[in-house]
């Protein structure tokens, strides 16, 4: 038999599967897999860097730093911690135990006052603190939306107090002066309050549009004008004063003008929080889905470019301040017709007009961020009273924590340097 007739060892039997090893195809597939893996890794690094350099993370870390500094202040003012500090070298365990008890006790009390009270057995009372948080959060969310909307147009609405007072006074006048069915009385009082807030805010926008007057100075001055206007109205019986009373307070609201309770009379949470949720949705749609929202954002990014593209910048300033005033006015209505229905006074704003600035800053002027920030600050307010009552810690400490949040939010490079985060990329 010749060599040509001998079967080759590499020949496969007829009908058997044949594996063809194509080295070039295998290399191509390996290279493609390596490229895909590299792309996924690059995307992951890019996503992590975007998160680390974003506003949301710096806001969360600002809250964390503020709570940490607040913890240091709690420890520094606690009698047990100071007492054990005197003999820390002899028994350091006593010091650390007292330190833990002071800090954990304070924040546990705040949690019981703001979210869930595990010291009671009634399920309704256990969750009552959460309803208090939402009650306090309602006007904060509305006020934060009013301030944040102005921020998106590069304007600073510092006139929340005046807008809330004028709106609250107008809503109160409707609320106690007329006898109407609830289906007419309550919406009328709400709309009148929003209208007065919008007009008071629109003054600053109109002055900026017509004369270039800075809205910060104008709104601050309008706060004083609004305060003394309401104070004067509280001395006149034909306006807000209670007949026969020397106290600067209006009569209580009629039942037909009071915002109904969401969960019944056992809880203080009223329909104002639902209004705040609706306002969040409306403002989100306005900013992200409407032509007006586009103009607001364009003016906020660059008013000169917006003007060159045909946008009426002055009109946008006026409209933005009117909308912000309406939202802050709605916060005042929330107070008068929901939280404090016994009568309006000059302290009805309860500092919400200025707290709204912090809420807007923490929420980065985004509706959903403002919603979260408003609930957080509502928890601070609700839990602060429990912390003071059970742990003998001043409620002013909560104000210190809020102020520290503003401080760290105003200095994002400091927060990034402390946590070694990458610098925020220029947009």
| HEC string for 82-121 | HHHHCCCCCCHHHHHHHHHHHHHHHHHHHHHHHCCCCCCC
391 located within any domain = no
Give me the mean pLDDT over the 67-85 stretch.
88
pLDDT classification of 318: cutoffs 50, 70, 90: very high
Residue 264 has a pLDDT of 87
pLDDT classification of 165: cutoffs 50, 70, 90: very high
User: How large a percentage of the chain has pLDDT more than 90?
Assistant: 57
pLDDT classification of 51: cutoffs 50, 70, 90: very low
Q: pTM for the full model?
A: 0.84
90 located within any domain = no
Helix 55-77 and helix 23-52, axial crossing angle in degrees, nearest 10: 50
Looking at the structure of the chain, the number of domains it has is 1
- Cα 322 from chain centre: 20
186 located within any domain = yes
What does each C-alpha distance from 233 to 124, 328, 346, 379 come to in angstroms? Answer: 41, 20, 10, 34
35 located within any domain = no
173 located within any domain = yes
416 located within any domain = no
- Contact at 8 Å (CB) between 244 and 295? no
* Neighbouring-strand partners of residue 270: 261
Residue 3 has a pLDDT of 54
Residue 414 has a pLDDT of 79
Measure the CA–CA gap between 393 and 324, rounded to whole angstroms.
36
pLDDT classification of 120: cutoffs 50, 70, 90: confident
Average pLDDT over the chain, rounded to whole? 86
Give me the mean pLDDT over the 170-196 stretch.
96
Measure the CA–CA gap between 364 and 362, rounded to whole angstroms.
5
Triad 239, 245, 251: Cα angle to 5°: 50
Triad 131, 350, 103: Cα angle to 5°: 60
pLDDT classification of 418: cutoffs 50, 70, 90: confident
Residue 351 has a pLDDT of 87
Cβ burial, residue 155 (10 Å; 0-12/13-18/19+): buried
Give me the mean pLDDT over the 389-400 stretch.
80
Structural domain including 355 reads 137-365
108 located within any domain = no
**For 340-376, how does the pLDDT look when each residue is reduced to its tens digit (9 = 90+)?**
999 999 988 888 988 999 899 889 899 999 999 999 9
pLDDT, greater one: 14 or 401: 401
User: How large a percentage of the chain has pLDDT more than 70?
Assistant: 86
271 located within any domain = yes
């Amino acid at each position: 038999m010749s060599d040509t007739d001998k079967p080759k060892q590499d020949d496969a039997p007829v009908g058997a599967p044949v594996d063809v090893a194509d080295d070039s195809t295998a290399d191509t597939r390996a290279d493609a897999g390596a490229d895909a893996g590299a792309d996924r890794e690059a995307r992951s690094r890019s996503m992590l860097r975007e998160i680390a350099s974003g506003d949301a993370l710096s806001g969360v870390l600002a809250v964390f730093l503020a709570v940490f500094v607040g913890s240091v202040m709690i420890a520094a003012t606690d009698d047990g911690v100071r007492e054990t500090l005197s003999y820390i070298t002899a028994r350091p365990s006593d010091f650390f135990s007292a330190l833990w008890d002071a800090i954990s006790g304070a924040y546990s009390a705040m949690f019981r006052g703001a979210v869930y009270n595990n010291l009671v057995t009634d399920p309704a009372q256990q969750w009552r603190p959460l309803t208090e948080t939402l009650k306090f959060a309602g006007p904060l969310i509305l006020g934060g939306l009013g301030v944040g909307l102005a921020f998106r147009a590069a304007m600073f609405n510092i006139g929340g107090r005046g807008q809330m007072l004028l709106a609250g006074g107008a809503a109160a006048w409707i609320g106690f002066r007329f006898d109407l069915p609830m289906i007419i009385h309550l919406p009328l009082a709400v709309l009148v309050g929003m209208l007065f807030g919008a007009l008071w805010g629109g003054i600053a926008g109109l002055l900026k549009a017509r004369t270039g007057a800075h809205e910060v100075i104008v709104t601050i001055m309008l706060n004083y004008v609004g305060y003394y206007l309401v104070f004067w109205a509280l001395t006149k019986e034909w306006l807000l004063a209670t007949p026969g009373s020397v106290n600067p307070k209006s009569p209580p609201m009629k039942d037909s003008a009071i915002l109904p309770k969401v969960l019944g009379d056992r809880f203080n949470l009223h329909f104002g929080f639902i209004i705040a949720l609706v306002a969040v949705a409306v403002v989100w749609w306005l900013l992200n889905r409407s032509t007006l929202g586009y103009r607001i954002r364009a003016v906020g990014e660059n008013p000169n470019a917006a003007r060159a593209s045909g946008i009426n910048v002055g009109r946008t300033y006026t409209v933005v301040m009117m909308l912000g005033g309406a939202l802050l006015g709605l916060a005042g209505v929330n107070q008068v017709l929901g939280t404090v229905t016994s009568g309006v006074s000059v302290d009805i704003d309860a500092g919400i007009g200025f707290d709204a600035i912090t809420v807007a800053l923490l929420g980065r002027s985004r509706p959903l961020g403002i919603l979260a920030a408003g609930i957080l600050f509502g928890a601070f307010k609700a839990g602060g009273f429990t912390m003071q009552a059970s742990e003998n810690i001043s409620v002013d400490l909560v104000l210190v924590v809020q102020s520290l949040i503003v401080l760290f939010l105003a200095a994002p490079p400091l927060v990034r340097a402390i946590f070694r985060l990458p610098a925020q990329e220029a947009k």
